[in-house]
Amino acid sequence: MCDACGCHTNDDATEKIVEVHQSLLAANLEQAQKNRQHIEAMGAVAINMISSPGSGKTTLLEHTIDYIGDKFRIGVIEGDIETERDANRIRAKGIPVVQLTTGGACHLDAPLVHKGLHALEKQSKDGTFDLIFIENVGNLVCPASFDLGEHNRIILLSVPEGSDKPAKYPTTFNGAQALIITKTDLLSYFDFSVEEAVREALHLNPDLAVVELSATQGLGMEAWTAYLDDVLVNR
């Protein structure tokens, strides 16, 4: 049996698995709506960051804090299977951060984020934020199915991964508001077509905003922070 989709050779078992899966998603959606209300009560907009492992989510957050951390009240929820390594990197920036470890699950869910929000809230003097970034577990499949209560969902696609990912993972790109192409300073070293990636992503989702950047080199960071400004203005 596949844990992700519930496929099984026994029809009766398949029906039961699908029913359980649908029930779990319904419960997750109910909690996600409560999370969204909680986030709005904190004065914040939440951004769910989804990508493959190693795409540069934490690095982008570090540099985003450097660029706008004195302008906006930022909080971060870090999702990983194990360790506090990413949270420690954000903590070093002096930003409120909560590490959520899933213990093996390949995605965050709304009930887990609910706990994270309460823990994050305690780290703020008045319990308020402008931006809450939720760095999901590195995975381009399962996180797409779970609403966490975010207002905005972005997909990071790094140059070393290849430009064919939108076509391979359409559900993930369909549900996003922005595509962030990362590590563009490596374009000369990899067979990555920005044109292909953007074309196929926009074919799936014509309303997708696209930002190309290299956080470590400071390339495209103005476009990225302008996108965040726009998200806040149009909250």
Phi, psi angles (nearest 5°) of residue 87: -60, -40
| pLDDT for position 118 | 97
Q: Say if residues 144 and 184 touch (Cβ distance below 8 Å).
A: no
pLDDT band with cut points at 50, 70 and 90 for residue 23: confident
Q: Considering the domain boundaries, does residue 9 fall inside one?
A: no
- Rounded Cα distance between 57 and 78, Å, is 10
pLDDT > 90 in the chain, percent: 87
Does residue 6 lie in a domain region?
no
Which amino acid is residue 173, in one-letter code? F
**Counted domains in the chain:** 1
Give Rg (Cα) of the chain. Answer: 18
Q: Which domain holds residue 191?
A: 14-233
Question: What is the pLDDT of the chain when averaged over all its residues?
Answer: 92
- How far apart CA 14 and CA 9 sit, in angstroms, is 8
DSSP state of 219: B
> Among 228, 176, 223, which residue's Cα sits nearest to residue 201?
176
pLDDT, tens only, 141-174: 999 999 999 999 999 999 999 999 999 999 999 9
User: Is a pLDDT exceeding 70 seen at residue 216?
Assistant: yes
- In angstroms, rounded to a whole number, what is the distance separating the alpha carbons of residues 132 and 114? 13
pLDDT in the model for residue 231:
96
Check residue 3 and give its pLDDT: 46
- The CATH number assigned to the domain holding 175 equals 3.40.50.300
**Residue 85 domain flag:** yes
218, 219, 222, 227: CA torsion to nearest 10: -120
Strand intervals (E) in the chain: 45-51, 74-80, 97-101, 131-135, 152-158, 178-182, 209-212
Q: Residue 1: pLDDT band by 50, 70, 90 thresholds? A: very low
